[in-house]
């Protein structure tokens, strides 16, 4: 199963984004480390996992999304841009928004909100019991 390489247009757009965020290739420290996790022996033997560190900001990312080193290089740079944009510009990335949504969903309800919800459920239950069929024998 071969993976499709990242197109040159995507690389160009990433480079322009890096220029806008003032990330230079000279400031990046890139290491290739052995992968881990699912994928079997091939993943564990090849150094396709990319560890990327931006020297000026101190931000670092580690990416192993695919078995291709080149794809992982692209994803690492993209993730680094996301992190830096979030830090500098206060932009909320899609990943961050998803995390906040989950946090809001897990948040405990206030006592008042919980009481209102239970009251509505009780009223709905009563409504359903009144809809029951009336027996003809009574």
Q: Indicate if the pLDDT at residue 38 is higher than 50.
A: yes
Q: Indicate if the pLDDT at residue 136 is higher than 70.
A: no
pLDDT score, position 1: 43
Buried b (16+ CB within 10 A) or exposed e, 64-83: bebbbeebbbbbbbbbbbbb
Own/partner contacts of 96-104, CB < 8 Å, gap of 24 or more, are none
Structure tokens that stand for 30 in this block: 């890139």
For residues 128 and 122, the answer to whether their CB atoms sit within 8 Å is no
How far is residue 79's CA from residue 73's CA, in Å, rounded to a whole number? 10
Q: pTM value?
A: 0.65
pLDDT score, position 67: 83
First to last CA, the chain: 71
Over residues 40-90, the pLDDT tens digits come to 777 777 888 899 999 888 999 999 888 888 999 999 999 999 888 888 877
How far is residue 60's CA from residue 34's CA, in Å, rounded to a whole number? 17
Over residues 4-21, the pLDDT tens digits come to 788 999 999 999 999 998
Is 86 exposed, middle or buried, given 0-12, 13-18 or 19+ CB atoms closer than 10 A?
Answer: middle
Give the mean pLDDT of 104-130: 91
Percent of the chain's residues with pLDDT above 90: 42
Give the mean pLDDT of 118-122: 96
Structure tokens that stand for 25 in this block: 């290739």
How far is residue 128's CA from residue 131's CA, in Å, rounded to a whole number? 5
pLDDT score, position 106: 86
For residues 49 and 34, the answer to whether their CB atoms sit within 8 Å is yes
pLDDT score, position 19: 92
């Amino acid at each position: 199963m071969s993976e499709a390489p990242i197109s040159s247009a995507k690389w160009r757009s990433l480079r322009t984004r890096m220029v806008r965020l003032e990330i230079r290739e000279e400031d990046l420290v890139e290491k290739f480390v052995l992968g881990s996790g699912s994928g079997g022996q091939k993943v564990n033997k090849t150094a396709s996992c990319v560890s990327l560190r931006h020297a000026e900001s101190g931000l670092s990312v580690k990416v192993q999304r695919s078995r291709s080193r080149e794809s992982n290089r692209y994803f690492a740079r993209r993730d680094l841009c996301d992190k830096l944009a979030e830090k500098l510009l206060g932009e909320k990335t899609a990943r961050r928004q998803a995390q906040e949504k989950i946090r809001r969903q897990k948040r405990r309800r206030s006592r008042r909100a919980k009481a209102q919800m239970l009251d509505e459920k009780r009223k709905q239950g009563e409504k359903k019991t009144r809809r029951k069929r009336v027996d003809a024998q009574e």
